[in-house]
Structure 1
């Protein structure tokens, strides 16, 4: 079975002998090759690509599509490679040919790849260009599709779909080694295993996001249980929240600072209902889903950056999924919580990119027949 649709299309084109079609699929796919980790980490100006001998004894660049990347290796890392290979990488090099997905049904050998660059460039003109936010659901058919690990990975679905990476993979990279390392460094301040563990623990414990939204949501949950219907009244919710904060020793100014949050949540929920995130009479019970969903992707970034081992990453992903199950009842409940946590943190009621980049994945994951949310029960039977 081909791991993904990309490898299936490559194998079909190969079986027909349609090499232009094969190259078009390859040019439209994410492609990777390996470099020595120490050279990449040292930001060496010229980094040696890992090579293999082709069938004719020529030194070849080895290119993999995402679904055929080998398992994690300690000494080399998978880096994105842009095809056709730039001329500066060929010049003065012993590289002559190219191996694609060696040893797999979709694999092939281009002995004259160095001399066919101009033709590949002409073929690339007919390949659609995907934008940065070209959300898409990618499934690895040979990866986990059922069970606790698949469920945990599906909890990371919003970001996986938005980033255009395979949702159900504990693999060698998330985006690519260099990009994943930079994501952890630039967005999270993570540069080693210890700092990665600290941030991941905060996500799993729901401490990365501000505490106030979760507090006021729990007050409303209590109202809904004790006084059905009262939770819909903003003034009742505000009085109950003020009382709960006062009991915790929060003074007047502190209480006043929390009150606008209730109106903001209710306005977001109104928009959620209009956009189909929430049913007409539903409300968000918790925003912890935002931390849990990011924890899944954060664990995968850590694996790519070599801060974690594959088995460890699997267990962390399963843990994030189990935590989500304790808080939510359905995928829809979980998704609404994830999106609320995201927009409260970053959107400021702009309903801009931070909202749209969660709304579109929500629609894909809830509506696509092949979505894990349509095929994996949120709670076990």
Structure 2
């Protein structure tokens, strides 16, 4: 599958949807994340039209973009988002039907930006990288400095993160929601994709803090955006006592 490039799109229907995808190729970065299987999510609570606690928790693995988009974690509101979802999937992801939706979700699960960026992480932590002081090294250090100075991380925590897969999983949760809202996949298919991403995420990380750092490293190194662009989401998710990270368990 072709590499995906980022495109930021604001659509006002009832909410503003900003979708991120990566379409620009990054050279000399290649690896493949292992696939993991998981069971299906619990059935939706049809009586209230809301989600179970397990389903709410699964949606939190897309919290960075979901928070940016001001979308709820406890209600899919599929019908309300349909037109906006169709437009943002087409414009930002080249997704126009069931086949392209599933192709993109499979790409985010098995490959994504982690395949390109993960091999570079170890190199960015070497003395040689510090001496070269490349743009990628500066971007990595920018994420680390912000997380250490403002959110209680240690430098060792950031340097211990082995994958930026969280960035792919955060995007997958949102693309799966959009694809369901657009009518391209069923609700059960949406949960199947999300649950696979959640299972892989729990293998890759041990806490929301690690997971968020993985999203930030991925977004910065693959998506080309500085940490400052996500400061609002960092403040909400890491500092607000009522944030999705604070009210939902990671494992």
State the TM-score, normalizing by the size of structure 1.
0.48
1:365 aligns with 2:242: no
Of the two, which has the highest radius of gyration? 1
More strand by share: 1
Which residue number corresponds to residue 162 of structure 1?
68
Which residue number corresponds to residue 150 of structure 2?
275
Match of 1:179 among 74, 84, 93: 84
Which residue number corresponds to residue 214 of structure 1?
118
Q: Where does the alignment leave 5 or more consecutive residues of structure 1 unmatched?
A: 1-28, 32-70, 72-103, 105-139, 221-230, 240-255
Contact 1:152/1:320, CA 8 A, preserved across alignment:
no
Instruction: Map residues 1-381 of structure 1 onto 2, 5 A cutoff.
Output: 30=14, 142-145=50-53, 147=54, 149-173=55-79, 176-205=81-110, 207-209=111-113, 211-217=115-121, 233-235=126-128, 261-276=136-151, 278-284=153-159, 285=161, 286-347=163-224, 351=226, 355-379=227-251
* Residues 46-80 of structure 1: per-residue CA shift (max 9 Å, x gap): xxxxxxxxxxxxxxxxxxxxxxxxx8xxxxxxxxx
**Aligned mates of 1:157, 1:365 — CA distance in 2:** 8
**Aligned mates of 1:163, 1:333 — CA distance in 2:** 22
Between the two proteins, the alignment pairs up a number of residues equal to 206
Q: Where does the alignment leave 5 or more consecutive residues of structure 2 unmatched?
A: 1-12, 16-45
Instruction: Name the Cα RMSD after superposition.
Output: 3.1
More helix by share: 2
Contact 1:170/1:314, CA 8 A, preserved across alignment:
no
**How far off is 1:317 after superposition?**
1.6
Contact 1:152/1:317, CA 8 A, preserved across alignment:
yes
Seen in structure 2, the aligned counterparts of structure 1 residues 347 and 216 have a Cα distance that, compared at 3 Å, is: closer
**Aligned mates of 2:243, 2:135 — CA distance in 1:** 37
State the TM-score, normalizing by the size of structure 2.
0.70
Between 1 and 2, higher relative CO (CA 8 Å, sep ≥ 6) is seen in: 2
